[in-house]
């Protein structure tokens, strides 16, 4: 049996650290604590740290001198993470319009899952999701916590264009498209909130370990919020939990 985490060299300037291959919040918490400790103690040596569902990649500014020595140092840091206090999570409340104009796959999902559109909206919006990592596109949050009844395979034929703000379901995951792009997830709604803005100091407001809750709004509320956001008169709701 493998002892986790497992360390692997990625060339001379990066190290991949892996945990068990599953979506698990306890694993995510361990990864985040490890990331914070490594960044605080090796800030001058690291160019970037990248979180995945079950991994952390350390990218160095230059080649490390000795791989075994480096592994011994960072593995000792991971052991210390068990002593870290429980962290506070940020909960972001995201307004979503589930109208069929935006939720273009709602009717098909309703038929295939044997659920009414109202039941889909209720199940999707009542859960609190965890941000595991950001990928695929800048600002695309991979969220865990989807209700089992809403699990739906990706579409056989991906769309060439999915609108910015579209909320989708792909397998056991849900997420929001931060920009217009191709995509194969089942679209159930849309939010006027921007998930990626390169003009801001922090282009993406959320990070791994944060929580997301989707709040249903009407179509008229959607267009009203869209105007406020474009005018810079809207502040996204967030709280510590």
Dist. CA 210–CA 215, nearest whole Å: 16
- Tell me the mean pLDDT in the region 135-150: 91
Decide if pLDDT at 125 tops 90: yes
- CATH 3.40.630.40 for the 6-83 domain, yes or no: no
- Closest by Cα among 20, 87, 96 to 52: 20
Peptide bond into 19 cis (omega under 30): no
User: Using one digit for the tens of pLDDT, what is the confidence trace for 35-47?
Assistant: 988 998 888 899 9
pLDDT band at 23 (very low <50, low <70, confident <90, very high): confident
Peptide bond into 5 cis (omega under 30): yes
pTM: 0.85
Give residue 82's pLDDT: 55
Superfamily covering domain 90-240: Cyclophilin-like (2.40.100.10)
Residues whose CB falls within 8 Å of the CB of residue 202, separated by 6 or more in sequence, listed in order: none
Q: Alpha carbon 147 to chain centroid distance?
A: 16
Report residue 140: phi and psi, to 5°: -85, 115
Residues whose CB falls within 8 Å of the CB of residue 203, separated by 6 or more in sequence, listed in order: 138, 139, 196, 197
Helix runs in 92-241, H state only: 106-113, 117-126, 219-231
173-176 and 166-170: which strand pairing?
A: antiparallel
- Tell me the mean pLDDT in the region 154-164: 94
Decide if pLDDT at 85 tops 80: no
| Residue extents of the structural domains in the chain | 6-83, 90-240
Give residue 81's pLDDT: 56
Q: Which residues pair with 95 in a beta bridge?
A: 215
Dist. CA 198–CA 62, nearest whole Å: 27
pLDDT band at 154 (very low <50, low <70, confident <90, very high): very high
- Closest by Cα among 200, 195, 145 to 167: 195
- Closest by Cα among 60, 69, 61, 66 to 16: 60
Give residue 200's pLDDT: 81
Q: Which residue has the higher pLDDT, 219 or 197?
A: 219
- Do 142 and 173 touch, CB atoms closer than 8 A? yes
Decide if pLDDT at 1 tops 50: no
């Amino acid at each position: 049996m493998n002892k986790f985490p497992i360390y692997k060299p990625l060339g001379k300037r990066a190290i991949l650290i892996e945990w068990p291959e599953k979506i698990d919040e306890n694993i995510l918490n361990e990864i985040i604590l490890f990331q914070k400790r490594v960044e605080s103690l090796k800030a001058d040596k690291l160019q970037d740290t990248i979180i995945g569902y079950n991994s952390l990649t350390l990218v160095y500014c230059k080649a490390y001198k000795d791989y075994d020595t480096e592994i011994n140092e960072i593995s000792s840091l991971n052991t210390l993470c068990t002593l870290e206090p429980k962290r506070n999570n940020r909960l972001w409340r995201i307004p979503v319009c589930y109208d069929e104009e935006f939720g273009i796959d709602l009717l098909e999902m309703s038929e295939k899952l044997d659920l009414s559109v109202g039941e889909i909206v209720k199940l999707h919006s009542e859960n609190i999701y965890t941000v595991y990592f950001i990928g695929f596109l800048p600002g695309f949050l991979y969220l865990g916590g989807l209700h089992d009844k809403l699990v739906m395979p990706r579409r056989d034929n991906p769309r060439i264009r999915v609108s910015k703000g579209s909320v989708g379901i792909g397998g056991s995951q849900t997420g929001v498209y931060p920009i217009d792009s191709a995509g194969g997830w089942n679209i159930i709604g849309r939010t006027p909130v921007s998930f990626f803005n390169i003009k801001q100091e922090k282009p993406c407001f959320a990070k791994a370990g944060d929580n997301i809750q989707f709040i249903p709004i009407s179509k008229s509320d959607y267009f009203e919020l869209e105007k406020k956001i474009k005018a810079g008169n809207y502040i996204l709701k967030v709280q510590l939990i």
